[in-house]
Chains A and B, each alone.
Chain A
Amino acid sequence: MDKGRIFAYLITIIACTLYLLPLYTMVNVSLKSPEDLIWGPVAPARRLYFNSYLQAWEKISEPFFNSIKMTVPATLISTFLGSISGLGFYRAKFKYKDLLLFLIVLGFYVPPQAVLIPLVKFLADIGLYSTIAGLVLTHVAYGMPITTLLFKNYYESIPKEILDSAEVDGASLTTLYRSILLPLSLPGFAVVSIFQFTNIWNEFLFALVLGRGRASQLVTVAIANLKGTTLAAWNVQMAGAVIGAIPVAIFYIFATKLVIKGLMAGAIKG
């Protein structure tokens, strides 16, 4: 091995260590007993102490299930709606379709602060403020730009002849969707729904503003409430954070390829 490669290994390993340091801190502290905490976050836990996980779970289990109840339908609905509007824009021929699509995609870049106050007012007016349904609606609505775009781009990667020949046979758009695109697009559905799931599960601002009260508090907000209060010891806060990180981390570790596809597609221009 030449010197250059040894140097590259050294740099890579140092970089990885630095990247992992916060994660090490979180997991290590979460496994420490209260007496062990005084030795600080660096010294490894003297013995594994799982009681902090039980305490954390007691505090965040309800929000955790709220998050599942909110994230799963929001993911499914926004993925489905994206798949049909993506098809609409893919096959559309009318005059202003490019402009309309541009405006929809532009919606992705409008920061939530620009719409937050009307959003709260609107949801309160229709009785969905601080409800799971209100959060689902919000995430579906603001998910439309990216899911539409992802599906439209995905359909474009399917050989054109398949669709064209079906159209010649006089298939309706619904038939096209159901019998041709749906079976061909299963990988696309997997990519988009993982993309949406991770984003919606991790989202914080809407959860903070729209999920007030026990019935609609989400796990991100519950963990934020544990943090920095005297409500819970450090090890309990960290255990809560580990629990909250697990669902998405599972995708990142075990479905890395699908996650990366989604991330790459998300970065491709409109």
Chain B
Amino acid sequence: MARYGNLQIFLFILPATVLVGIFVYAFSAWNVSISLTDWRGLVTSIRFVGLENYLKLINDPIAQKALINTFLLAVTFIPLTMLIGLITAILLCLELKGTSIFRTIFLLPLSFSFVISATMWTWMFSPEQGTINSLLRLLHLDFLCQPWITSTEQSLWCILLVYIWQFSGYVTIIYYSGIRSIPQEHIEAAEIDGASRFNIYRHIIVPQLKGETIGVLTILLFYALRVFDLVYLLTGGGPALSSEVLATYMYRMTFNQNLFAYGASIGTVIFIIALAIMIPFLLLSRRR
């Protein structure tokens, strides 16, 4: 039998346990306790105020707007990214000439940090000189020109577009490898039976991608729950708060307005939402 006992195991798992224990769980608890006070920048006396911040939060119209926007982004981002990723994966599976180049191109947006994407897309969206409107004018399609991120109606959907652009490549490669691992005989048998390409995908290939779909969902949920960067960088939550999400609101309250306790209560709400979604999701997906 092994010469090592639980002591050695204990030492090996100690760093991860201690670091995650402190930085994730102790800090989350600390954050909750901050949210129960009236701590704000530079004020030295801190009072316990109970649930006051949360009561304020429930009646805060900006927080409501931010919550709705966070939700809207998540429920559009996840299915659309999955759909586009699946379509591009199918395109790659056709084994066209240059597939490896196409794959790298689909994947490339994922390599850019949010800062780089935001820099690129600020130019894409700029109403006066931006690439999209310039191209539309060049093609004499001026009537399609839009105000993009400068409009209160479109800002959130512009951010959505950039998120999809950035992450669909992730979905592409996962579905691509999933489709390629499906036994060729299944597909050939259906072909002999005279099934159309579309039906082969619909009835034979896609149903076999359950594991991949769970993997894709895990990763897209991860990003959807922490939507911050592109909103902060592209619109700052504007114009007129039209694209504000919980995370940007939390940042603004905390670091611009120095309302630490109020910011902490928004952080706690984000924490609860994330765990309420992830714990059942992880448990259910493991059972398979």
Residue numbers of A with Cβ under 8 A of B are 4-5, 8-9, 11-12, 15-16, 19-26, 29, 40-42, 81-82, 84-85, 87-89, 91-94, 100, 102-119, 121-122, 138, 140-142, 144-145, 148, 167-168, 170-174, 198, 201-205, 209, 220-221, 223-224, 227-228, 234, 237-238, 240-241, 244-245, 248-249, 251-253, 256, 259-260, 263-264, 266-270
Contacts and interface: CB of A to CB of B under 8 A. Distances in A.
A185 to B, nearest CB: 14
A220 B226 contact: no
B134 interface: yes
Given A113-B226, A204-B115, A244-B116, A269 B3 contact: no
A5 B113 contact: no
A245 B116 contact: yes
B161 to A, nearest CB: 11
A94 B6 contact: yes
B170 A251 contact: no
Contacts of A204: 113-115, 229, 233
**Which has the most chain B C-beta neighbours within 10 Å: A167, A168, A173?**
A173
Nearest to A247: B111
A94 B165 contact: no
B30 interface: yes
Contacts of B31: 114-118
B141 interface: no
Given A114-B28, A241-B119, 19 more contacts: A19-B105, A19-B108, A20-B105, A29-B123, A92-B6, A93-B9, A107-B25, A113-B247, A114-B27, A116-B254, A118-B30, A144-B15, A198-B111, A204-B114, A227-B233, A240-B119, A249-B111, A252-B104, A252-B107
Interface of B: 1-4, 6, 8-17, 19-20, 22-28, 30-31, 34, 88, 91, 94, 96, 100, 102-124, 129-131, 134-135, 138, 165, 169-170, 173-174, 177, 197, 214-216, 218-219, 221-222, 225-226, 228-229, 233, 246-247, 250-251, 254-255, 260, 263-264, 266-268, 270-271, 274-275, 278-279, 282, 285-286
Nearest to A256: B104
Nearest to A266: B219
Across the A-B interface, the 3 shortest Cβ-Cβ residue pairs: A88-B12, A202-B113, A114-B271
Nearest to A115: B27
Given A144-B20, A209-B255, A117 B107 contact: no
Given A4-B197, A253-B104, A173 B9 contact: yes
A237 B286 CA distance: 45
Contacts of A29: 123
Contacts of B121: 22
Most chain A beta-carbon contacts within 10 A, residue among B12, B96, B116, B225? B116
A168 B23 contact: no
B210 to A, nearest CB: 11
B9 A141 contact: no
Contacts of B107: 252, 256, 259-260
A26 B119 CA distance: 8
A116 B23 contact: no
Contacts of B103: 256
Contact of A23 (B15, B120, B268): B120
Contacts of B138: 42
Given A220-B115, A228-B122, A245-B112, A85 B12 contact: yes
A223 B116 contact: yes
A73 B125 CA distance: 37
A29 B131 CA distance: 10
Given A5-B94, A114-B270, A12 B255 contact: no
Given A40-B129, A267-B174, A8 B96 contact: yes
12 contacts: A4-B197, A16-B106, A26-B120, A89-B13, A107-B20, A107-B24, A109-B221, A114-B274, A121-B30, A145-B24, A252-B104, A264-B174
A267 B173 CA distance: 11
Contacts of A270: 282, 286
Contacts of B20: 103-104, 107, 141, 144-145
A224 B215 contact: no
A259 B169 CA distance: 12
Contacts of A113: 226, 228, 246-247, 250-251, 266-267, 270-271
A103 B25 CA distance: 9
B285 A269 contact: yes
A142 B23 contact: yes
B2 A170 contact: yes
